[in-house]
Structure 1
Amino acid sequence: MTDHDEAAAVRPLTLAWVGRHLAAGERITRIEALHGGITAEMRRLTVGARDGDTRHLVLRSFVDPFHVERAEESLTGESGALTLLTRTAVPAPGLIAVDPAAAHCEYPSLLMTHLAGRTVLDDEGLETRVPLLARQLVAIHALRPAERPRKYGTLTTADTVVVPSGADAAAWAAAIDVIREPAPPYEGRFLHRDFQPGNVLFDVPPARPAAARITGVVDWAATSWGPADLDVAHCSVNLALLHGPTWGLRFPAAYEEAGGVLAASASERRFWQVRDALASSEEVESVSRLWREAGRTELTTRAVEERLDAYVTALMDTLG
């Protein structure tokens, strides 16, 4: 049976639009909310056929007014990325349909296949997962699309950084000065632009965390073209906040060990690492809430702020 509370959350026009993209004889039998997204509502749809077979789809809809204004560009970019990725070895969802301007749905929406696996945010088994993350990111950066996606974007400026209460003022002032400088030159790469543990699915056999493997990479809405260092920096700061600053500092080396190439000079590497670390200062509250909802209840906003402060300070000490 359909979960009526969740079905009610998916608007009638959107449900009808989804129905037009199902095979003959199929119908939606269950709708479940998927947690972990900041910019869009995510639903897993169970689809049943007359012969009893079932499959799962994922519906992404932008409903918040702030994100609706940016949804067309985002969904157009994501649908293009998913189309490209079907011809690669990168495990990504398959595109079924997209309505970026809400011509058929109440809100801009994208319908895609559902991937097996789950996000893993626990500390246990991290030694195994970090090299897997690094190798997967190297594979993404190796893609050479016939048509480049849009140039990477960064919304954070020196004036919008949110310095945590009690932070090392000197370290943060020095870090903010770093991003006042022009971006260094770089060799462009195909970027995921939000590659981090929350967007990677794993199969982890029970009691065998060392046998973990990646089954999928999701959320390609910010796909862009830019420096590999930026994707590495983004994953690094997420590892630092989830698992401690040391793990964030380790990730660039893991990326290089996997065959990735970063900027040649320490100052160039510092720019990208610091830029993304400071960008995360504006999202601490929303990100920590999502992690608590996912089971990391100890990651209060204050705890994450303290880890961010320690990470920024370590970056300035290590790379400064």
Structure 2
Amino acid sequence: MTTYDEAAVRPLTLAWVRRQLEAGERIVRTAALHGGITAEMRRLTIGTRDGATRDLVLRSFVDPFYVARAEDSLHREAAALSLLTGAGVPAPELVAVDPAAAQCEYPSLLMTHLAGRTIFDDEGLETRVPLLARQLVAIHALRPAERPRTYVTLTTADTVVVPKGADAAAWAAAINVIRRPAPPYEGRFLHRDFQPGNVLFDLSPRITGVVDWAATSWGPADLDVAHCSTNLALLHGPAWGLRFAEAYEEAGGVLAAAASERLYWQVRDGLACSEEVRSVARPWRAAGRTELTTRAVEQRLDAYVTALMDRAR
């Protein structure tokens, strides 16, 4: 019996998905996947000819803001998933992609489903942080035959949003840090959004998957480390943000040699988050961290930026 909502997966997209299936297969169930910010995600359970099932994931950009940027994003994600096949990183496998919505209602990508779940709880964090660090080191060790685009950062000193009641002196000093030119760096393959929301764990815990490769880039390892650090600081407190860089080095990762260069990337990512606190906090609350209101996350961001600047003195 088919148990999916035709309105949830739109008719043209359904027809496109069916064309990607093996002979005798059919969609028997769909379920929304929560936690994404830029795209609508659904798990599709596929019934096979022998009576078994397998799962696929459908990623569709439906918000007008993201639809306008979807074609480039989906091309990059499809290229990254193809590159990662057999590379030793637990990533989904690409099934099909329609970047310009030529056959679907919205730009879409179909990929295999990975077992596991995201974990946002404080409990067990001391075990998960080293696992996150080791996984990121493995990603940075990849040497693709064709490099992805050079990293992009959109935040400027003039676009930073200083939280209400923040430490004005610390934020002014942090903003001055990113007024400087970016330090030189040795390029690495970057996930560019590596953080707990894009990493799946089993009960061991063991990492079973890394998802959302749409922002794959070439740039400094420090930038990926800084991004995960900021997310850990907002989810679990500033001390965990500071701890992640240490865990990355303990796992064999190499960061910028100069403290001032490390600070640049750490501060740049923290300040970038100031512009999107509301959208960052929303999926965390939906996942059960109801105490992480926009205001609570702003306060943690202030504490983290202040801690970074205090350590730099």
**Please, what TM-score do these two structures have when normalized by structure 1?**
0.96
Any stretches of 5+ residues in structure 2 without a counterpart? none
Q: What CA distance in whole angstroms lies between the structure 1 residues aligned with 2:176 and 2:268?
A: 10
1:267 maps to 260
Q: Does 1:254 align with 2:267?
A: no
1:129-208 matches, cutoff 5 A: 129-204=128-203
SS class of match (1:136): helix
Q: What CA distance in whole angstroms lies between the structure 1 residues aligned with 2:41 and 2:32?
A: 6
SS class of match (1:67): helix
Please list the CA deviations of residues 4-61 of structure 1 after superposition, one character each: whole Å capped at 9, or x if unmatched: 44x3122111111000000111111111110111110000001112321100000000
Q: What CA distance in whole angstroms lies between the structure 2 residues aligned with 1:314 and 1:139?
A: 28
2:10 maps to 11
2:238 maps to 245
Q: What CA distance in whole angstroms lies between the structure 2 residues aligned with 1:4 and 1:189?
A: 42
Q: What CA distance in whole angstroms lies between the structure 2 residues aligned with 1:18 and 1:182?
A: 46
Is the CA contact (8 Å cut-off) linking 1:158 and 1:179 kept in structure 2? Answer: yes
Shift of 1:286: 1.2
Q: What CA distance in whole angstroms lies between the structure 1 residues aligned with 2:2 and 2:104?
A: 20
Q: What CA distance in whole angstroms lies between the structure 2 residues aligned with 1:147 and 1:158?
A: 32
Shift of 1:2: 3.8
Question: Which one is further off, 45-54 or 18-27?
Answer: 45-54
Letter of the 2:9 counterpart: V
Q: What CA distance in whole angstroms lies between the structure 1 residues aligned with 2:27 and 2:222?
A: 42
Any stretches of 5+ residues in structure 1 without a counterpart? 205-210
1:304 maps to 297
Q: What CA distance in whole angstroms lies between the structure 2 residues aligned with 1:119 and 1:164?
A: 28
1:208 maps to none
Shift of 1:319: 2.3
Q: What CA distance in whole angstroms lies between the structure 2 residues aligned with 1:192 and 1:286?
A: 20
Matched-pair identity in %: 83
Letter of the 1:64 counterpart: D
**Please, what TM-score do these two structures have when normalized by structure 2?**
0.98
Is the CA contact (8 Å cut-off) linking 1:2 and 1:31 kept in structure 2? Answer: no
SS class of match (1:73): helix
Letter of the 1:304 counterpart: V
Please list the CA deviations of residues 226-282 of structure 1 after superposition, one character each: whole Å capped at 9, or x if unmatched: 000000000000000000000000000100000000001011000000000000111
Q: What CA distance in whole angstroms lies between the structure 2 residues aligned with 1:246 and 1:113?
A: 36
2:107 maps to 108
SS class of match (1:46): strand
Letter of the 1:86 counterpart: T
Q: What CA distance in whole angstroms lies between the structure 2 residues aligned with 1:175 and 1:93?
A: 37
Q: What CA distance in whole angstroms lies between the structure 1 residues aligned with 2:20 and 2:154?
A: 36
SS class of match (1:103): coil
Distance 1:3 1:278, change over 3 A: farther
Is the CA contact (8 Å cut-off) linking 1:3 and 1:32 kept in structure 2? Answer: no
User: When the two structures are aligned, how many residues end up with a matched partner?
Assistant: 313
Is the CA contact (8 Å cut-off) linking 2:4 and 2:28 kept in structure 1? Answer: no
1:126 maps to 125
Q: What CA distance in whole angstroms lies between the structure 1 residues aligned with 2:41 and 2:287?
A: 15
Is the CA contact (8 Å cut-off) linking 2:187 and 2:221 kept in structure 1? Answer: yes
